[in-house]
C-alpha cells in the first residue's frame, strides 16, 4: 500500500514535486500544533497526517476541476497550472499550523506563522514571490468554513480539508474517548471517494451508520457553500450499497 507521500508524488510534475519536498521541512510546526490539539485538548488528529491527506485530496480535486473551473492563479496572475498546484500544495500543507498557538482562530494564526516561512521558501521559485504568497495566505485563511473563498485554489483547499473524514478522522474536533454526536458521526464514516461525476466532481461518502450524515452536513456541506465551487460538485452518501445525493 502506497504511503501518503508516494501518493502525492504520483500527482506532481517535477517543479511542484521539488517544492513539496522543500515544504516538508516545516513538519515540526504541524507536530507542535498536533501536540496542542491532541495532548492538551484531547482532540482527534490535526497534524502531519491530516496535512498530507488534505494535500493529496486537493490535488485529486484539482485534476478533475482544472478544465471546468478557471484557475485564479492562471487567470489573474497570468501564470501556469504548475503555479496553481504550488499554491494548493503550500496552503494545504500549512493550513493548520496555527493550532500550535490555539485551536481558536487557528486559521488566523496559521496565516501569521506562514508568512515568514513563505518569505523563506518562495523566492527559490519566484523572482517576485509576493503575488503567489498572497494566494497561499488567502487559501490558508479561507479554509475555515466561516470564510468565503475568493479563488478557485482556496475553494479546492477548503473542500479537500473537509474530505478527511475516513474512519474517525472527522473534521469537527471531538474529544477522544468521549461518546457524543461528534465522535459517533466521525466513526460512522468508512470511506471518502473523490472521482469524476456529472458536475464534474463527485464526492462519495460511505457510511456505516446514519450518524455520519451529521459530520458530512456540518463540515463538507458547509464548506462547499463557501468554496465558490457549489455548481461543480455533487456529494453522494452511500450506505448498504445505496447511493443518495445530498442536497447542499
What is the domain-level CATH number for residue 16?
1.10.3210
- Given a cut of 90, is residue 246 above it in pLDDT? no
Q: How many domains does the chain have?
A: 1
Q: Per-residue pLDDT for 175 more than 60?
A: no
The continuous run of DSSP H or E covering 235 comes out as: strand 233-239
Reply yes or no on whether the pLDDT at 185 is more than 90: no
Identify the band that residue 224 occupies on the pLDDT scale cut at 50, 70 and 90. very high
Domain residue limits at 14: 4-245
Amino acid 211: pLDDT = 82
Three-state SS for 203?
Answer: strand
161 closest CA partner among 152, 172, 175: 172
Nearest CA-CA partner of 97 in 168, 154, 25 = 25
| pLDDT tens digits along 196-206 | 999 999 999 99
What pTM was estimated for this model as a whole? Answer: 0.94
Q: How many other CB atoms are found less than 10 A from the CB of residue 112?
A: 14
Amino acid at each position: 500500500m502506497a504511503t501518503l507521500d508516494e501518493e502525492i508524488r504520483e500527482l506532481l510534475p517535477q517543479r511542484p514535486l521539488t517544492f513539496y519536498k522543500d515544504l516538508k521541512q516545516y513538519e515540526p510546526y504541524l507536530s507542535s500544533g498536533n501536540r496542542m490539539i491532541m495532548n492538551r485538548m484531547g482532540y482527534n488528529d490535526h497534524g502531519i497526517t491530516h496535512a498530507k491527506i488534505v494535500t493529496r485530496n486537493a490535488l485529486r480535486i484539482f485534476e478533475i476541476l482544472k478544465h471546468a473551473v478557471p484557475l485564479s492563479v492562471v487567470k489573474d496572475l497570468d501564470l501556469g497550472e504548475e503555479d496553481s498546484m504550488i499554491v494548493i500544495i503550500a496552503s494545504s500543507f500549512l493550513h493548520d499550523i496555527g493550532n500550535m498557538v490555539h485551536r481558536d482562530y487557528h486559521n488566523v494564526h496559521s496565516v501569521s506563522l506562514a508568512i515568514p516561512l513563505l518569505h523563506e521558501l518562495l523566492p527559490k521559485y519566484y523572482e517576485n514571490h509576493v503575488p503567489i504568497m498572497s494566494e497561499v495566505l488567502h487559501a490558508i485563511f479561507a479554509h475555515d468554513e466561516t470564510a468565503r473563498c475568493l479563488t478557485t485554489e482556496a475553494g479546492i483547499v477548503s473542500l479537500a480539508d473537509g474530505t478527511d473524514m475516513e474512519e474517525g478522522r472527522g473534521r469537527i474536533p471531538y474529544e477522544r474517548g468521549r461518546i457524543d454526536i461528534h465522535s459517533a458521526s466521525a466513526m460512522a464514516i468508512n470511506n471518502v471517494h473523490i472521482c469524476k461525476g456529472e458536475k464534474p466532481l463527485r464526492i462519495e461518502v460511505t457510511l456505516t451508520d446514519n450518524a455520519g450524515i451529521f459530520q458530512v452536513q456540518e463540515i463538507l456541506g458547509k464548506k462547499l457553500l463557501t468554496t465558490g465551487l457549489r455548481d461543480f460538485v455533487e456529494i453522494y452518501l452511500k450506505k448498504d450499497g445505496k447511493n443518495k445525493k445530498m442536497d447542499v
